[in-house]
Structure 1
């Protein structure tokens, strides 16, 4: 039986404007908070919102705007009551093999920034053969172009994607490139909810994923 997966990203404190259909798993690919909000109350409000959604499993990772989340992680590995935070971790949910990592390149003053050497190590540590890979940034060259045509994906992540070969790779970060692209055996989804240049959100991405990986 397939698993109903809803994917969102880059809600930037506009999560209350989303209308989610419910399902088996909700995934948030980071940038939950608004423009570097450091207020812990924003995390509490977000957690309450997660609790009102009709999903038995809610999986989240961080993004470069999530400074309050990064600060909370210095105190606890699980800052949410109603969602499961994942960072450099592999787990099985509803029969799906899932891994998530929040790291971002280049943005040294932002949350979850790592330099190039550390990024290479993080991406190289991702196991192969996953059903779902969750990152905040796209791999370079895949759904990663801004409105001005600049690439904002990570080349070091792109270098590992063929090895990792996930069935589904979901991310956000680059609002203007929201959409889907099927390359080889991987479905790439830029699930950015925020609409580039507007204070508005787009509909979530909803997929049916079979738990059993094809032979």
Structure 2
């Protein structure tokens, strides 16, 4: 895998090691004696602020991103107009609709997605439709006790006032904006005040305190008070914990890891070069719940794929019951993973370069994958809905509460998973308020 974090690396036996934690209440050995600078955060989400109570501001003001897409030039816009006219879609369409966003985590317009690659766009819609018709990815025995899991992420210093009752609360990172010790402690104190049997937290790229490379000098010797007893927060960083649910007669193993493909400057935490393998062999095979900050590529992700392809391969290997993540705000929602040929075809189509409709029309390999997606989706529907077949499936949850780059918790439904053992009969939790 190679080193993706100074002092944190994969050993020959496949384990990720790092600086030991000195923070009180940490569930496992993790690097927590860190902080962030108050420089402007770029890439995903927002411009950082040193205030622990400030809302996550729009990343329209971000200025230091190294991953921002360059707006289309005048020549590119003219070529887009000519191509649209040639396809009979009408040159009267505003060419600005075909520009990608200058912000790397913004969702492109439907028009841009169609013109960039109509085959990829249609395959995404087909895949979403078959997942909807196929239903929940897991089946629950009628008398099986349920474990209720509440999934949240990307609160960015904000505190939703209402959350539904659950046995387990998971926060998948980006608690803060600037990632200072004060901001993080404020969020941790809020989480400690919530009444849940277990509360698990991982870091996100904005939580700079936890990464030795991005900690600020002012926080070098600061520690986080994680609480104790019923208030205790379990912080996971390349580590697992086994949770005992005595009332249900079951245990669950949860593994958490914060690393993400690079999307910003040195003030962002746990970054590794995009395309580098920071995941293979790092997730224990007995993991029931996987918590990461980045999504697996192409799943509850941006259409062009801002998630990690190596994480996707690792999830294919482990196939946990539940995978919780955030990071890409506009990917908020839930999705079943059935680990079948339809999913393989969808992911191959997602990896295609977006080179316009003419290339799509003559690209034989793309059409073969589209045919495989259609046939495999049909067979999967017959297997699950007609024959009642089951397999080792996964529920994926992008639990980001922040709406795009608005600085508001507009994704106003927490992801509530009431049946983690089997059929995940998804219910929506109480509406969240700022």
TM-score (ref. length: structure 1):
0.85
Taking structure 1 as reference, are residues 136 and 180 closer, same or farther at Cα in structure 2, changes over 3 Å only? same
Partners of 1:37 and 1:98 lie apart in 2 by 24
Q: CA RMSD, aligned part only?
A: 2.5
Taking structure 1 as reference, are residues 121 and 176 closer, same or farther at Cα in structure 2, changes over 3 Å only? closer
What is the correspondence of 1:1-215 to structure 2 with a 5 Å cutoff? 1-14=145-158, 16-34=159-177, 36-38=178-180, 40-70=181-211, 71=215, 80-81=226-227, 82-93=232-243, 94=245, 95-107=251-263, 109=266, 110-115=268-273, 120-145=277-302, 149-184=303-338, 185-201=393-409, 202-211=412-421
Residues 190-199 or 136-145, more deviating: 190-199
Q: Which has the larger radius of gyration?
A: 2
Partners of 2:328 and 2:161 lie apart in 1 by 19
Partners of 2:210 and 2:272 lie apart in 1 by 16
The alpha carbon displacement at 1:75 in A equals 5.9
The alpha carbon displacement at 1:210 in A equals 3.9
Partners of 1:169 and 1:74 lie apart in 2 by 32
Unmatched tracts of structure 1, length 5 or more: none
Q: Give per-residue Cα distances to partners, 1:73-127, cap 9 Å, x unaligned.
A: 976997522311001112211311111100011235211112468x635442112
Aligned length: 206
Partners of 2:305 and 2:414 lie apart in 1 by 23
Secondary structure of 1:91's aligned partner: strand
Unmatched tracts of structure 2, length 5 or more: 1-144, 246-250, 339-392, 424-434
Residues 179-188 or 41-50, more deviating: 41-50
Taking structure 1 as reference, are residues 121 and 65 closer, same or farther at Cα in structure 2, changes over 3 Å only? closer
Taking structure 1 as reference, are residues 207 and 47 closer, same or farther at Cα in structure 2, changes over 3 Å only? same
Taking structure 1 as reference, are residues 75 and 162 closer, same or farther at Cα in structure 2, changes over 3 Å only? farther
Compare the two structures and name the one with the higher strand fraction: 1
Tell whether the 8 Å contact from 2:278 to 2:310 is kept in structure 1 after alignment: no
Secondary structure of 1:17's aligned partner: coil
